[in-house]
């Protein structure tokens, strides 16, 4: 396999990837993610001052528009450990995820070996750093991929300890309850709650509930939150509406101000969508009525040009009705 290591930041095409990658590039937010969602004894031994972000990416070319990765190096009990976070932020579930993680992990080890002098790597006591693979997933579908690598291998039950195995950590945004996320009372909990699928009315309610949590954030954390929110909340909106919501978030200096202005902007957007939906419904109803009249005229043997004049339908539409 060709070395896919990329030391420069590649342009990401997914708004989720951009938002989450920016957010988790903060050591503090990374540590908050780990402490909030990974229930292991070693988590408490992580020292923020000993965390180092690695400016490399190992994403395969086939997946560079679908996912992103973040890599942190740190020491626990004086042993070097690497946390590899794969941002799997798409609606579909990839059943080859354990295999892809293995490829990325091998590439990280190969990169480490390449950068170290042979005099060090050839020593009997040399050890590669442990890699802890983490998948952050925010799709709506349940994650049904095997958590253990060996379970994607045919015949693993026969050979047991003789086949390669590891277990990755899954952080599934949509599987946490509102109560759990509110209980965290931190930035990453607020982000996950807003990221969970919701209509505009539900989103407004969540923003209201988060006011006290957001007020506790440091200025740096609030800026991170606003930047993430700008990139994610505008998904699916036309360009003009995107700019409007982005400006509301950007120009707000206080939490109350941002929530109030954002609620107003979201309400306006909701009303616009309602009007557009009603107009489309009326247009569809009028078209159905015209088609029904045309069918009756066809059954009565009226000519195409007469039907066009009466209904205003195109010749193509009438000919389709005749065929059907």
Cβ-in-10-Å burial (0-12, 13-18, 19+) of 219 comes to exposed
pLDDT of residue 11: 40
Per-residue pLDDT at 271: 63
- Average pLDDT across each block of 10 residues of the chain; the chain has 324 residues. List them in order: 48 58 93 96 93 89 76 93 89 87 95 95 95 93 94 94 96 95 96 86 88 94 91 70 81 88 76 56 70 85 84 85 78
CB 27 within 8 A of CB 51: yes
The closest of 93, 82, 100, 88 to 20, measured between CA atoms, is 88
Q: What local confidence, expressed as pLDDT, does residue 112 receive? A: 95
Q: Mind giving me the DSSP string for 37-56?
A: H---GGGGG--GGG-EEE--
Q: What is the pLDDT of residue 110?
A: 95
Give 303's contacts (C-beta < 8 A, 6+ positions apart): none
**DSSP label at 172?**
E
Residue 321, pLDDT score: 84
Rounded to whole angstroms, what are the CA distances from 106 to 165, 236, 272? 13, 37, 51
Q: Is 276 exposed, middle or buried (0-12, 13-18, 19+ CB in 10 A)?
A: exposed
Distance (Å) of CA 324 to CA 21, 173, 304, 318? 53, 48, 15, 10
Report d(CA 116, CA 94) in Å as an integer.
Answer: 34
Q: Would you call 181 exposed, middle or buried from its count of C-beta atoms within 10 A (0-12, 13-18, 19+)?
A: buried
Residue 307: per-residue pLDDT: 84
What pLDDT was estimated at residue 273? 59
Distance CA 265, CA 1 (A): 49
Question: What pTM was computed for the model?
Answer: 0.77
């Amino acid at each position: 396999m060709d070395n896919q290591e990329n030391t420069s930041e590649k342009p990401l095409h997914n708004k989720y990837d951009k938002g989450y990658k920016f957010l988790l590039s903060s050591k503090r937010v990374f540590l908050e993610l780990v402490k909030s969602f990974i229930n292991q004894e070693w988590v408490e031994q992580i020292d923020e001052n000993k965390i180092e972000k690695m400016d490399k990416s190992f994403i395969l070319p086939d997946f560079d528009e679908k996912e992103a990765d973040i890599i942190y190096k740190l020491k626990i009990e004086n042993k070097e450990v690497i946390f590899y976070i794969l941002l799997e932020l798409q609606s579909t579930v990839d059943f080859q995820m354990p295999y892809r993680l293995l490829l990325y992990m091998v590439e990280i080890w190969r990169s480490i070996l390449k950068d170290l002098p042979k005099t060090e790597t050839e020593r009997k006591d040399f050890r590669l750093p442990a890699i802890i693979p983490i998948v952050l997933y925010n799709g709506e579908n349940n994650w049904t991929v095997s958590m253990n690598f060996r379970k994607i291998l045919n015949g693993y039950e026969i050979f047991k300890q003789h086949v390669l195995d590891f277990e990755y950590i899954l952080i599934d945004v949509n599987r946490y309850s509102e109560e759990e996320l509110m209980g965290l009372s931190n930035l990453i909990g607020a982000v996950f709650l807003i990221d969970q699928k919701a209509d505009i009315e539900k989103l407004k309610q969540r923003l209201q509930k988060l006011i006290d949590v957001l007020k506790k954030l440091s200025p740096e954390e609030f800026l991170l939150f606003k930047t993430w929110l700008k990139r994610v909340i505008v998904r699916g909106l036309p360009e003009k509406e995107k700019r409007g919501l982005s400006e509301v978030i950007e120009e707000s200096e206080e939490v109350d101000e941002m929530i109030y202005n954002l609620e107003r902007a979201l309400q306006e957007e909701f009303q616009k969508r309602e009007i557009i939906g009603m107009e489309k419904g009326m247009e569809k109803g009028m078209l159905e009525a015209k088609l029904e009249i045309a069918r009756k005229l066809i059954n009565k043997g009226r000519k195409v040009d007469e039907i066009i004049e009466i209904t205003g339908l195109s010749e193509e539409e009438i000919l389709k009705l005749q065929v059907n």
